[in-house]
């Protein structure tokens, strides 16, 4: 019995030692809900943030901003929410799912994504209304969709899209795969897909510039780490990465 007790004690010490072998660094997961158009820039920032915060892993849920607000309102657990427009962040504030006042960290505007070489000769927003073109846009509740509606109103041009996608990446992919001749996406998305698509800028896009706000989620599991991520995005390194991706300053 004494020998069994000694073995059990040794095993307990071994387990305790294994549990503290990390040198005191706590393993932490930060969950960020972010607009699909932030995929490339936020993914690039992830590495730098994790390096500066030992033991931290940043996990993303990228989707249309309206979908993310719905998920948060339905009780989804997250630490940070970054929207591609102010109206969807306002909905999050009104639903009581964010903590404190959101901060705008970037701006973005629409561009037309077309096949490489622009075989259909699309040069303007008005060209998208031509007969025989397959055009895709974002759904109206999605920020890139509401921006499209604003441009339609300001130009008097009414589009007849083949589909209304739930986020900007879905619209972009329809062009990349050849399922659409053109898609209304953000400048940043068309830039990130350079080579797979060409980008056509149009002046009327300035009538529908989207502001991107970010906020800590209410009752965030990692509230302090969430605040550090927000500060990182708003800081010099965050702004530099966003600028490189094609975002405008707030």
pLDDT one-digit tens code per residue, 16-25? 333 333 333 5
Do 136 and 161 lie in one domain? The reply is yes
- pLDDT tens sequence across 27-39: 899 999 999 999 9
Cα distance from N-terminal residue to C-terminal residue, the chain: 71
Q: Percent of the chain having pLDDT more than 70?
A: 90
At residue 27, the pLDDT reads 82
Do 98 and 120 lie in one domain? The reply is no
pTM for the whole structure: 0.87
- Spell out a b/e string for 29-53, using b for 16 or more CB atoms within 10 Å of the CB, else e: ebbbbbbbbbbbbbeebbeebeeeb
Is 71 inside any structural domain? yes
Q: What is the CATH number of the domain that holds 123?
A: 3.40.190.10
Asked if 111 and 89 touch (Cβ cutoff 8 Å), the reply is: no
Average pLDDT over residues 239-247: 96
Do 76 and 102 lie in one domain? The reply is yes
Is 153 inside any structural domain? yes
Do 69 and 134 lie in one domain? The reply is no
Is 96 inside any structural domain? yes
Do 180 and 168 lie in one domain? The reply is yes
Lowest mean pLDDT among 1-10, 123-132, 135-144, 182-191: 1-10
Is 18 inside any structural domain? no
**Cβ atoms within 10 A of the Cβ of 236, count?**
8
Do 103 and 216 lie in one domain? The reply is yes
Does residue 10 surpass a pLDDT of 60? Answer: no
Helical axes 39-52 vs 223-234, angle rounded to 10°: 120
Do 48 and 125 lie in one domain? The reply is no
Containing structural domain, residue 87 = 26-107+212-245
Do 121 and 80 lie in one domain? The reply is no
Do 85 and 147 lie in one domain? The reply is no
Is 95 inside any structural domain? yes
Do 116 and 96 lie in one domain? The reply is no
Q: Which candidate, 214, 187, 219, 188, places its Cα nearest to that of 202?
A: 187
Average pLDDT over residues 177-187: 98
Domain count, the chain: 2
- pLDDT tens sequence across 195-215: 999 999 999 999 999 999 999
In the chain, helix, strand, coil percent, each to 5? Answer: 45, 25, 30
**H/E run at residue 213:** strand 210-217
Do 189 and 229 lie in one domain? The reply is no
At residue 26, the pLDDT reads 67
CA–CA gap between residue 188 and residue 43 (Å, rounded) = 14
Do 115 and 202 lie in one domain? The reply is yes
Query: CA 72: distance to chain centroid?
Result: 15
Q: Which candidate, 124, 114, 42, places its Cα nearest to that of 84?
A: 42
Is 190 inside any structural domain? yes
- pLDDT tens sequence across 146-180: 999 999 999 999 999 999 999 999 999 999 999 99
- pLDDT tens sequence across 71-128: 999 999 999 999 999 999 999 999 999 999 999 999 999 999 999 999 999 999 999 9
């Amino acid at each position: 019995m004494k020998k069994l007790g000694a073995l059990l004690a040794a095993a307990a010490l071994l387990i305790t030692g294994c549990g503290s072998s990390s040198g005191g660094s706590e393993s932490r997961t930060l969950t960020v809900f972010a607009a699909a158009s932030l995929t490339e820039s936020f993914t690039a920032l992830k590495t730098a943030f994790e390096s500066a915060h030992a033991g931290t892993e940043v996990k993303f849920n990228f989707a249309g901003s309206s979908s993310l607000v719905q998920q948060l309102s339905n009780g989804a657990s997250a630490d940070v929410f970054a929207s591609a427009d102010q109206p969807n962040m306002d909905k999050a504030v009104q639903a009581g799912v964010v903590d404190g006042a959101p901060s705008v960290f970037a701006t973005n505007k629409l561009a037309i994504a077309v096949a490489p070489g622009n075989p259909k000769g699309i040069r303007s927003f008005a060209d998208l209304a031509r007969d025989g073109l397959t055009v895709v846009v974002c759904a109206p509740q999605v920020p890139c969709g509401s921006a499209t509606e604003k441009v339609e109103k300001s130009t008097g041009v009414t589009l007849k899209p083949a589909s209304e996608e739930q986020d900007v990446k879905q619209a972009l992919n329809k062009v990349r795969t050849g399922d659409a001749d053109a898609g209304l996406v953000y400048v940043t998305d068309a830039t990130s897909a350079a080579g797979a698509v060409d980008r056509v800028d149009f002046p009327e896009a300035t009538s529908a510039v989207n502001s991107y706000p970010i906020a800590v989620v209410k009752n965030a599991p990692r509230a302090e780490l969430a605040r550090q991520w927000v500060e990182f995005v708003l800081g010099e390194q965050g702004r530099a990465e966003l600028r490189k991706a094609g975002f405008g300053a707030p």
